[in-house]
Amino acid sequence: MTQPFSIAIAGLGTVGSGVLALLARNGDLIAARAGRPVVIAAVSARDRLRDRGVPLSGIRWYDDPEAMVADPGVDAVVELIGGADGVARQVVQAAIAAGKPVVTANKALLALHGVELAAWAEQRHVPLAFEAAVAGGIPVIKLLREGLAGNRIERIAGILNGTCNFILTTMREGGGAFADVLAEAQRLGYAEADPSFDIDGIDAAHKLAILAALAFGRPVSFESVHVEGIRCISPLDVAFAAEFGFRIKLLGLAQQTERGIAARVHPCLVPEGSSLAGVEGVFNAVVAEGDFVGRVMIEGRGAGAGPTASAVVADVIDVARGRTTPVWGAASGALSDAPSAPMSDHAGCYYLRIMVTDRPGVIADVTAALRDEGVSLESMLQRGRAPGEAVPVVLVTHETNETHMGAALARIALLDAVQEAPTLIRIEQI
């Protein structure tokens, strides 16, 4: 009989429990695709008494996950603890040091420490697999690292955070305020009690850093990603975007430029007819553009027990089969040293909403600030009259440079008639 492939799972939260359920339900199918049975030899989690929906009898339980890594009956380690440092990092380092393959869903760990972990894994000839770290059940890592391996990737763009996409979709469909919709997302379990990582764009930036490394063949560089979240988006912006024929999405975008790799996460206006505009609710999507393949888009559920467990088990099957690929798609010595392009290089069109006191001369002052910084307008909206009261003025620019737009915005914010910080959203034709 073929020797079973024994795995240890560190972390039995939502994803870990999903992996238990998937292996229990589809064990025969997984064995056929892995070439041998995949069995859970050991687990480690904080709460022994919690019901995970799958019996754990016969599985060795460890309170110390690093001790579990040293178990001689474990062939590979699945890290599902999460977090860039602490126990998760120690477990992965210990597994690599022990020469045991690692499967992880930990995007923060890879975004912040992926360079050193990849180097250690390469030195020790240990597989480090992370399909589940980006976009849940969508096989975007395999798409970039394997399926499009023969292409020069020109650009990638994606909706990488389901919480933000749910909030923006719900605001558009129901007209609710950001805070109210966020509370609803928390009630439904789509947002954490502390949602900062999601709504401030950090989660999406971790994922974009990983995708950019794979797409452009250089070491992962989270610190080079420009990051903005969605706290500033109001129902007014959602409604005005629709009037102009756009929807608002939090996007991660990366591309090769003359100055290097540009990587950014921020809210965008995208045309209503574009493929990404139609990705709603908690769904994720990634678009990749290659020189030979052209445009490729994949969409699906970006989080949750089932989709993420699906990606974890796909990596386990690869490792059991002995299929390995360098962590960033090529050996460390073959990776590019391309620099990071600064956000100030960005050029594009912009949406700008300003709340101003309705009085004569205000629009002239605003347009003068734009004119003096070389920013030209494509269109403008002002709804109704309310002398002496605050009213929204919305402007859409022609293509301009980020530096010029930033300078104009700073001048506008200083005008006496401007009642609050202006809202700026970049427009992306994708």
Q: Estimate to the nearest angstrom the gap between the alpha carbon of 92 and the chain centroid.
A: 22
Cβ within 8 Å of residue 123, ≥6 positions away: none
**From CA 130, how far away is CA 328, in angstroms rounded?**
11
Q: Give, for 155, the enclosing helix (H) or strand (E).
A: strand 153-159
Pairing type for strands 294-301 and 347-357 reads unpaired
Answer left, alpha or beta for residue 69, where phi above 0 means left and psi between -120 and 50 means alpha.
Answer: alpha
**What is the SS3 assignment for 11-54?**
CCCHHHHHHHHHHHHCHHHHHHHHCCCEEEEEEECCCCCCCCCC
Answer left, alpha or beta for residue 196, where phi above 0 means left and psi between -120 and 50 means alpha.
Answer: alpha
- The answer to whether the beta carbons of residues 289 and 154 sit under 8 Å apart is yes
**From CA 240, how far away is CA 130, in angstroms rounded?**
39
Q: Which amino acid is at 156?
A: I
Which value, in Å, is the radius of gyration of the alpha carbons in the chain? 24
The catalytically annotated residue of 100, 107, 142, 207 is 207
Cβ within 8 Å of residue 138, ≥6 positions away: 284, 285, 286, 298, 299, 300, 301, 302, 307, 311
Q: Does residue 142 have an active-site annotation?
A: no
Q: Find where tokens 């923006």 sit.
A: 168
**How many other CB atoms are there within 10 angstroms of residue 53's CB atom?**
11
Active-site residue numbers?
Answer: 207
